[in-house]
Each structure stands twice: as structure tokens, then as C-alpha cells.
Structure 1
């Protein structure tokens, strides 16, 4: 409470002092009196209006507005590596492997051939390839490709 009162008092004092040079300029000058300080040295006073803000130079004007949030999944094969295939089917060629208990970044899901009772396949986010959803556990749902 005391801190708030002091802060309010200081703000009121600063606001009052900010109006004093304005009142001195508005007062009629008496013959032989000195002009107000603000009339003598305007460069010593703080500017009353802030300068206009400059546009940010780091803004990418060609930014895309697509969401690129990837989900993580964990490979749940038993002591074997999971085959990464070039398409969502076991008929596509193997282009890589992911080892058991490793995390994989997933981009989206699609339908493909049946593996272990499911037709869902996940597309990998950072590499070209698909893995069967039967062997990957995810915490959140992925969008469809």
C-alpha cells in the first residue's frame, strides 16, 4: 500500500513538473523580465511527443503461414529395427531404419497396406519415408496427409 502511494505521488509530481515549462511559456512576459527556459534552450527539454516507430527490418515478408508442428512418436519394435519405406505400403522399398525405443518426428498420417491390424502409416517429418503406425506410439493425433 505504501509503495503504491509513493509511486502515485512520484508520478503526480513528475506530471506537475512537466506542465511548468508549458505554463511559463503561456504566461505574459513583463517588461524587463527574462524569457522562460524552454524558449531559451529547447534542446535541453525532453521531446514532448515520441518519434514515430521505425518498421522492423527482420520481418520476413515471404513467410508462410503453414503450421509446421511435428509430433513425436516412439518406435516400439522388440529388439529389431523398424523399416522406413519410400511409400505407405510393405510393397515399397526400404530406404532406412529406425531403431527400437527411439523417438521419430512425424509429419502426418495416411492409409496404406495392412500391418498388424491397421492401415495407418506415418510420414516422417525430417526425412523421406513412411513407417507403419503399428510399430510407433504417439501421444497426440496427427493430421491427414
Structure 2
């Protein structure tokens, strides 16, 4: 997970129709391709949250707080569409949300909801790949998000 969240997989067949839900590109290797799903505002969503609600604090503090929120962020949900979206919606006008807010939620719940929302968004690409016959049994995570054990665990779960 970096500014965006990208999920890539090798593809040998250029004739597959993914219904516009993911991208199909030429690979550098002859007669090879790759498919790609993109969450536009992955790490960017966490940066936006930090800059808006925790200015002056570091990411380590936010992530430590998020680790103390329960799985599911106590019912708080976040959709990371703060810059539009590409996969699977391809909609520049779609917008992000926090859903399920109540007076018991704390900043740690909001932080965890952002992290979980990003992971769920990236997982939409994984599910699209699987629905089109890709066997995905290993994921290699890179970018700033890969430096967080919590975020890696959220993705794995």
C-alpha cells in the first residue's frame, strides 16, 4: 500500500474480458500481460485522515492507537473513495464515507476504520481476479503500508 493501492497479477491470455472492472496491460515479456486493480486513495486516505484529524502526530502513534480498536472498528466503516475510484467502479465522482458513527467511537476507531476500509477496497480487486479464475494463494505487500505489522495483519485477515 502506497499512495494508491495496487493489486497486480500475471496473465497469459489477452482475450479475457474483465468487464472493465480491472485493467489489462501488456507485460514487458513477449505475449505476456498483467491485470491490475487500483484503489486510488489507499495510503492517501490514511495521510488525509492524519493531516485532518491528527495534525502534528506521527503515523506510529495513530497505528498504535488503531491496534487498540477492536476488529471491525467497533462497527465504524470507511469507504476510501476520497479521490474517486478506479476498481471496480471507475467513477471519478464517487465519494468516501464514514458509516455507523456513534458517540462511543474514538480516534483509534476512526483510524482502524480507515485502514480496514482500504484493505476491503483492495480485496475487491482480489475477488474480481478470483472470480475470473485466478488462483491467488500468495500476496507480496510493498509500500509504506507494508511497514506496519497491524496493516499487514488486517490485509491478511
Normalised by the length of structure 1, the TM-score is 0.24
Of Structure 1 and Structure 2, which has the larger fraction of its residues in helix? 2
Of Structure 1 and Structure 2, which has the larger fraction of its residues in strand? 1
Q: Determine which structure has more spread, i.e. the larger CA radius of gyration.
A: 1
